[in-house]
Structure 1
Amino acid sequence: MRLLHKTALITGAGSGIGRVTALRFASEGAQVIVNDLKAADGEETVRLIREQGGEATFLQADVTKASDVEQMVERALQTYGAIDILFNNAGISGIGAIHELSEELWDRVVNVNMKGVFLPCKYVVPHMIERGSGNIINMSSAIAEIGLMKRAVYAATKGAVLTLTKCMQVDYASHNIRVNALLPGTILTPFVEKYLKESYADAEEGLNTIRRRQLTGDLGRPEDVANAALFLASDESKFMMGSPLYIDGGCTFGKMA
């Protein structure tokens, strides 16, 4: 029970990595605040947590809207009295080289992936400063360290999140707040499955192409990232500050012969 008596707010927890992490945190004793834009998805995550005997509450909010986020944080504090862990997991992708991207798509990806980290931090951090402790995990990506075809805007935002993480750590270390980043490689989530079906004539061949990026020869699973998030959320990582944690099957620093 590594998160016993801790309250964790997880954005984008209605599916994929966010849902699996919410379940993992709850299994380790955390009270989980499940945030998602889609009520049905968020409520399903809460149902699954309660089914396994955990404690969770769903709070619907658009992480790109200040009023939504402020109200979400206020309601979370009213319900549990504290937010010990903030996991900024919500994010979207955008496919295309720079000249292929519409301004609308660029703005949407930047808004969700960057502002969607900024706003939860803006409203949670003052509470953490007041309490003299806190733990923030930001979802970056292995793409922050490598070039990848047709992922210009996604890579730009995830690189920004990694740099933001380091700057935040400098600002808040004196308040006993830790800030670290997760850098997953390609993880087999519903989003990736949808991408494979839409982008390749043969989804299985597309999957094989992506598998070759990893030294493991396979994609990661949401559980792999959830376990890494649990490590960062727990006291086991208490000497990690402003650090990137890679869960990428070797795609960042390795290359097949």
Structure 2
Amino acid sequence: MFSLKGKNAVITGGGSGIGRAIAELFAAQGATVHVVELNLQGAEETIHKIIAEGGQGYAWSCNVADQQQVLVTVGAIIEKRGAIDILVNSAGIAHVGNIEKTSPDDFDRIFHVNVKGVYNTMFSVIPGMKEKRRGVILNLASVASSVGIPDRFAYSMSKGAVLTMTLSVAKDYLQDNIRCNCISPARVHTAFVDGFLKANYPGKEDEMFAKLSKTQPIGRMGRPDEVAALALYLCADEASFVTGCDYPVDGGFIRLNN
């Protein structure tokens, strides 16, 4: 089950965290993985590991906020390996602050990566998927798409947009056999979390890690591989009846955080 053999999968933000876990799992399931990253070194590290474990993959340097770069990169991928079967939008950045602590530059930076980046990649791959009359798109949203999170004004804005773009694309391309879903993680333990704690709570990293973990009703943060497992299902043929849905991976955060 859940074989991706013969599939071409493009994964943005696959150089670290959740994106890397998805890239590695998809490659293990037989996909040829294309990691699209602003950080080329991170992309290459992911691909080196995939190849070392017997998988196939390529690293691509690209700023998803720049539509021309995305169009060129997608064109090069298609020229190299053929049609794109799967797109996973995992690239994203964070911002801490309420509206008063969100400058116009902060807002624009989050919008360009988290919203326009998702728009750019979907805009670039959908024509080819329409031509082949098949395709799967999976976007990484957030629990912030559905509930209020303190001090996450710009980030919540962007992830709310990801959720509604997902629904719109799913509706518009039903007849083209293109499925589009999203995943909404709560806190997931990645290198980003460790860096955030080190920068903002020096000397109190362990204390704050425990505090943040307890904000999930299940009592811990999620793991990247747990998100990747759901991503695999949603992008596999076994999920062919699933489109236009948002799937929380949140340790009970949305429904049980009373």
TM-score by length of 1: 0.97
Find the aligned partners of 2:244 and 2:199 in 1 and give their Cα distance. Answer: 36
Structure 2 regions of 5+ residues with no counterpart? none
Match of 1:225 in 2: 227
Show the counterpart of 2:100. 99
CA displacement at 1:199 relative to structure 2: 2.2
Q: Within 5 A, what are the aligned runs for 1:28-107? A: 28-107=29-108
Aligned to 1:242: 244
Q: What are the Cα deviations for residues 127-156 of structure 1, in whole angstroms up to 9, with x where unaligned?
A: 000000000001100111111111111011
1:39 and 1:211 mapped to 2: Cα distance? 31
Are 1:157 and 2:158 an aligned pair?
A: yes
Query: Could you tell me which amino acid in structure 2 is paired with residue 196 of structure 1?
Result: L
Aligned position for 1:108: 109
Matched-pair identity in % = 38
Match of 2:19 in 1: 18
What amino acid sits opposite 1:176 in the alignment?
N
Q: Distance in 2 between matches of 1:91 and 1:80?
A: 26
> What is the deviation of 1:75?
0.6
C-alpha separation between the residues in 1 aligned to 2:208 and 2:145?
22
Q: Describe the SS at the equivalent of 2:173.
A: helix
For residue 216 of structure 1, give the secondary structure of its aligned residue in structure 2.
coil
Q: CA deviation at 1:190?
A: 0.7
- Misfit runs of 4+, over 4 Å: none
Q: Following TM superposition, by how much is the alpha carbon of 1:105 offset from its aligned partner in structure 2, in angstroms?
A: 1.1
Q: Which amino acid aligns with 1:35?
A: V
Residue 240 of structure 1 aligns with an amino acid whose one-letter code is: V
Q: Secondary structure at the match of 1:253?
A: helix
Q: Which moved more, 1:203-212 or 1:79-88?
A: 203-212
CA–CA separation in structure 1 for the residues paired with 2:157 and 2:17? 22
Counterpart residue type for residue 94 of structure 2: S
Of 52-61 and 232-241, deviating more is 232-241
What do the CA deviations read for 1:184-236 (whole angstroms, capped 9, x no partner)? Answer: 01000111111112222511121122112212100001101111110111012
2:256 maps to what in 1? 254
Q: Which runs of 5+ in 1 are unaligned?
A: none
Structure 1 position 102, deviation (Å): 1.5
Distance 2:41 2:212 in 1: 31
C-alpha distance in structure 1 between counterparts of 2:138 and 2:179, whole Å: 8
| Alignment size in residue pairs | 256
Matched letter for residue 91 of structure 1: G
**2:255 counterpart SS class:** coil
Q: What TM-score does the superposition give when structure 2 sets the normalisation length?
A: 0.97
Alignment root-mean-square deviation, CA: 1.0
Distance 2:90 2:245 in 1: 16
Match of residue 211 from structure 2: 209
CA separation in 2, counterparts of 1:205 and 1:158? 28
Instruction: Give the letter for the 1:156 counterpart.
Output: M
